[in-house]
Amino acid sequence: MSISVQTLVKRFGAQTVVHGISFEVARGEFVSLLGPSGCGKTTTLRCIAGLEDADAGVISIDDTVVSAPGQNVLVPVHERQIGMVFQSYAIWPHMTVAENVGFPLSVRKLSTVELTRQVEDALAIVGLSALKDRHPSQLSGGQQQRVALARAIVGRPKVLLFDEPLSNLDAKLREGTRTEIRRLQRELGVAAVYVTHDQEEALSMSDRVIVMDKGRIEQVGTPKELYRSPVNHFVADFVGRASFIDVIKGDGASGWRTPDGTVLDADEARANGQGTYQAMLRPEDVEIVDGEAAGVDRGRSLSGRISESHYLGAYTEYVIDTAGAKVKVHSRRDFDVGAPVILRIRPETCRLVARPANAEL
């Protein structure tokens, strides 16, 4: 494994912010740490980089232990052979593009010829060779980000680490830079750990995603696994958009009953027969039809009324009051706020998740 994190613990004073988490990243694999602010993802990344000292656990890079407090092992940042891209870019304004990219190599005491060669290689990979003599003030935001990328890959590091590198870019530029980062990582064939709170970034870029909350790992899986089969309410709600309806098991084989008595057929893969559950619905999986149309089949469907409508171009997002909940639905059809509607749900897209203990009754 290129990166191995075993039972990592990090404290700040009396507060534990990372609670004994473990994961591995294979060579050539792109893994995202996804979660809300304060979940411990950036602290985990900084411990891998050596910018924070772990309080317990073992971190290895390319099978070399770089952090093991219990064994009194702590390898300095510059000896870990990592490349890192920060949220703020961290580009020196008084240095040229070439000087910024070559800065990490200066501590390695390379010859001028070798340093120049590696800098030129890195600039060529990110397409900035023609701008090597410019200063950061003469560059756009996207060009500055590419300088940071070139600096991260110069010298061909063993792993790449990204700390929310796209948060300062506009939406259009973020989309293009996502593609660039993934292309670079694949071309170099190195392991990458990418920290973000943006689920779209994580889903579109990653081989696997690690969802974190309150310093713990909630679920690890491919983007499709997390989106289609979340293990709990938190993951379902954080990864993509979802609506939740409280349900209880019906009598015999009669499905799951909502608070208003409607019976739903659901994917029961996550139900073990204990505790209480919610039906999790993705907005694109729910079909909405006119509730007053003649001949509408109402069997095992939800009846409701549209309370909100938001036109988003490719579709309209409707919020429907139904079964004691608010259900979001994406549709290209036009409905008026206040209109009665029927929601049709296929059993395989109606997934059960455990009802969180702090949910309102």
Half-sphere exposure of 278 (CA within 13 A, CB side): 27
Question: How many other CB atoms are there within 10 angstroms of residue 259's CB atom?
Answer: 12
The amino acid at 69 = P
Which tokens is 119 given? 């800098």
123 with 98: CB under 8 angstroms?
yes
Check residue 296 and give its pLDDT: 59
What's the token pair of residue 155?
Answer: 């010298």
Q: What angle do CA 51, 226, 191 make, to 5 degrees?
A: 40
Instruction: Measure the CA–CA gap between 101 and 99, rounded to whole angstroms.
Output: 5
State the pLDDT at residue 292. Answer: 79
Q: In this predicted structure, what is the pLDDT of residue 360? A: 54
pLDDT in tens, 237-254: 999 999 999 998 876 666
pLDDT digits (tens, 9 = 90+) for 184-205: 899 889 999 999 999 999 999 9
pLDDT for 173: 80
> Structure tokens of 306?
């549209």
Residues in the chain: 361
Q: Which SS3 state, helix, strand or coil, does residue 361 take? A: coil
pLDDT for residue 95: 93
CA distance 84 to 299: 55
Query: What is the DSSP annotation of 134-191?
Result: --GGGS-HHHHHHHHHHHHHTT--SEEEEESTTTTS-HHHHHHHHHHHHHHHHHHT-E
Low-confidence stretches of the chain (pLDDT < 70) are: 251-254, 272-275, 294-299, 358-361
Tell the burial category of 172 from Cβ atoms under 10 Å away from its Cβ (0-12, 13-18, 19+): exposed
Tokens of 63: 């099978």
